[in-house]
Amino acid sequence: MFMLPSVCLPAMRNCRVMDTNVTLIWPQTNRGSIAIVILTLICFCSFLYSIIVILHIILTIPHLKDNTRYLLFAHMLVNDTVYLVTGLLLFLGAWYLIYLPVPFCYFTYTVATSTYRVTPYNLAVMSLERYVAISFPLRHAEFCTVRNATIAIVVIWTVALIPNLADFITISSSFGKLRPMVCSQGALSVTPEQNTIRTLTFTISFTLVALIILFTYFKVLLVARSIGSGKSSAIKASKTVMLHAFQLLLCMTSLLSSITERYPFNYISLLTVSTFLLFTCLPRFLSPLIYGLRDEVLSKHFIRIHTVKK
């Protein structure tokens, strides 16, 4: 469920302002919102640089490129990048009242929502990979191959696109009736069934992913305890799975962006941009830090690259 502002933004010049007090506060809140937008773009550029460096490391080192764990991690980074790019485009389009043709709007919205769903699915597969590595170490090389990882990625995308296909079937008959619009989830919701599909998809998907992550965490933790302190890899794996759970919670925080609709109009501008940064962008910005720089191999090469540059 990808959340975009469904409220009237101060940048939308055709909005009607009834209260004179709102007019007085408008410039101040607008300046604050612009500052947060600039901060978001700076963070995005830093995130993009980190992604490029990490992908360069994974793709240029043979034993990392052929490792299922790093392949899934690279897939998650690319997916998060696409999600942020489309999310920023949709957000700025809504912010500056850019009217888009319905097919283009729906395609962009589909990319944004599908990449949003891919992240938790990818986290579930990464947790299962750690579970197999610790619980079945002798068969890890047999199960966790590049071919199987590629199949898993294809399955992830197929499952992620199914709700969009159902949504498309629901809305396709209305395409000819819809005029160019400011692209948002609310603008594309033309039938009650669409909201039902989105709610069911979100509930079922995140519940299953949460159960998979909890299952793998407790299984790995049991292995770690049975082996004792001598097997540090099991302890590291359990911590990694917990990071997957933390990342899943961060993904769910994007739903909190709807809180802006509960506040008075004069505060909507600043809150909309702030919640977009905190609850939509920030969880993805943290991915390279949570996984990439925490990994000993990646962090070593990351430091080496910057040391050589200096």
Q: Distance between CA atoms of 206 and 187, rounded to whole angstroms? A: 25
The proportion of the chain whose per-residue pLDDT surpasses 90, expressed as a percent, equals: 21
Q: Can you say whether the dihedral through the CA atoms of 147, 149, 153, 159 is positive or negative?
A: positive
Q: Distance between CA atoms of 152 and 125, rounded to whole angstroms? A: 8
- For the stretch 14-51, pLDDT in tens is 333 333 333 333 344 466 667 777 887 888 888 899 89
- For the stretch 54-99, pLDDT in tens is 999 998 888 888 899 999 999 999 999 999 999 888 888 887 888 8
Question: By CB neighbour count within 10 A (0-12 exposed, 13-18 middle, 19+ buried), where does 21 fall?
Answer: exposed
Please give the pLDDT value at position 176: 66
Which residues have C-beta within 8 Å of that of residue 278, sequence separation ≥ 6? 253
- For the stretch 76-86, pLDDT in tens is 999 999 999 99
Model-level pTM? 0.81
- For the stretch 249-258, pLDDT in tens is 777 766 655 5
Across the chain, what does the average pLDDT equal?
78
114 has a pLDDT exceeding 90: yes
Second CATH level (architecture) for the domain 30-309: Up-down Bundle (1.20)
Comparing C-alpha atoms, which of 74, 68, 61 is closest to residue 145? 68
- For the stretch 225-246, pLDDT in tens is 776 654 566 677 777 777 777 7
Question: By CB neighbour count within 10 A (0-12 exposed, 13-18 middle, 19+ buried), where does 283 fall?
Answer: buried
Percentage helix, strand, coil, to 5, in the chain? 85, 0, 15
The proportion of the chain whose per-residue pLDDT surpasses 70, expressed as a percent, equals: 77
Please give the pLDDT value at position 254: 64
- Location of structure tokens 């890899």: 233
Please give the pLDDT value at position 86: 92
Question: By CB neighbour count within 10 A (0-12 exposed, 13-18 middle, 19+ buried), where does 33 fall?
Answer: buried
171 has a pLDDT exceeding 70: yes
